[in-house]
Structure 1
Amino acid sequence: MARPLDHAKRAELLAAVVRYIADHGLADLALRPLAAELGTSSRMLIYYFTTKEELLVQALATQRPDITALFADIEDAAALRDRLWDFWAANTSGEGGTSAKVMLQVLGAACAPHSPYIRYATSAIAVFVSALAEGLRGLDSIDDPEAAATLLISGLRGILQDRLITGEVGRTDRAAHRLIDQTVSGAR
């Protein structure tokens, strides 16, 4: 008889996986070195998560903010700009920066044919775009909320990737501000 899952241990492993991938990358991720770093065995990781890909998908799911709540109560353009800037700041530092770094690696890997991450990446993008589009619908001057949400999410993701690669904080912050301001400008 199989022993029951230790949910606290499982949650601890998921958080450690995100940190490990942020530090070591996704491209060469192998279970044995990951397990050794986490103080467990590859067999235990498979026991908890079934596959390496499922382990990563579940780890990322624990890091995803409640994006629907983030943009749910937007009442005007100024509040939207503030919320987007807060979102940018949260994803460029600390734990949010670690999660964003891993997410960008997964999105890149999802571009490969037959990627095990395509469903996760497609879902993550859809959740972000639909939640932001819903927040944009309340602003009169946004005539195509889905297009504006796509521009903001994809644009900020590209600027974030630039920042992670180049380390240029000032330029990327200015670019993020400009993208947010120009996309939301004129909204009432």
Structure 2
Amino acid sequence: MARTTPSKPAEVDAEPGSQEHAGYRRSTGSARGAARRAELLDRVTDDVAANGLVDFSLRRAARAAGTTHKVLLYYFDGADDLLAETIVRLRDRRISAAFAAVDPQPPTLSARVRALWPVLVDAETGLRVLDQAIGLAIYDPQRHAELGRQASKQYLPLLLSLCPVHWPEQRKREVAAMILAALRGFLIDRLTSGEADGADAGLEALVRALDREEAAVE
């Protein structure tokens, strides 16, 4: 009996210099392949930003991207890999918006943190989705722990950049970690309580603490 091979997306056969992976051939880094991958990721990110992570699947992602799940398997290592990269892309968009909010930078650290707040609570920057991602990391750490770890890796450089340039690096890291933990807590409280008052009050306490920190004797 003649053997048959699984069908492959046309894009797979069109890519030179590729290798077999999970039944499909994978691009090893051509410029065209990288551009196509980025295009697909942007389309999936747009869908997730609009519709959240509930019922996320490779087939839903394929519909959003205007392609097939086989083509997505050509560019990504399955649904979890695609989900992780989508969350990273969504955070990148949010961080870019946050940088824009503090450019030119306000004169004090507390004012710079306050300038971030409207961006962080803006639904257009993916707040609901990013909160769901942290929930996945807590609920199933064996599968999704990197979603939580990656959040800190992405946000800490932004917060470090807001600290006074003359501060020692250790002090910058300590204060940036405090800001990250506090803002994350305020955002979760805002989302879970459905009210803004508690989070807004917490933000006011944080900016007062940052004023004291910045005024402290070096």
Structure-1-length-normalised TM-score: 0.72
Question: Could you say if the C-alpha distance between residues 84 and 123 of structure 1 is closer, same or farther in structure 2, counting changes exceeding 3 Å?
Answer: same
The amino acid across from 1:83 in the alignment is: R
Q: How does 1:109-128 map to 2 (within 5 A)?
A: 109-111=136-138, 112-115=140-143, 117-128=144-155
Amino acid in structure 2 at the alignment position of 1:151: M
> Deviation at 1:6?
5.1
Matched AA of 1:147: E
Task: State the 1:137 CA deviation.
Answer: 6.0
Q: Which has the larger radius of gyration?
A: 2
CA contact (8 A) 1:129 1:153 kept: yes
Q: Which has the higher contact order (CA 8 A, sep 6+)?
A: 1
Matches within 5 A, 1:36-75: 36-63=63-90, 64=92, 65=95
**Alignment of 1:174 onto 2:171:** no
- Contact kept? 2:52, 2:128, Cα under 8 Å: no
The 1:184/1:39 distance shift into structure 2, 3 A limit, reads same
Unmatched 5+ stretches in structure 1 = none
The answer as to 2:210 corresponding to 1:153 is: no
| Aligned residue-pair number | 183
SS in 2 for 1:114: helix
Shift in alpha-carbon separation, 1:48–1:126, aligned structure 2, 3 A:
closer
User: Is the Cα–Cα contact under 8 Å of residues 74 and 80 in structure 1 kept in the other structure?
Assistant: no
RMSD: 3.7
Percent of matched pairs sharing the same residue: 26
Distance in 2 between residues matched to 1:180 and 1:153, nearest whole Å = 13
> Cα 1:75–1:161, aligned 2, differ >3 Å: closer, same or farther?
closer
Deviations 1:27-46 (A, max 9, x none): 53221233224332211221
* 8 A Cα contact 1:74 1:135, kept in partner: no
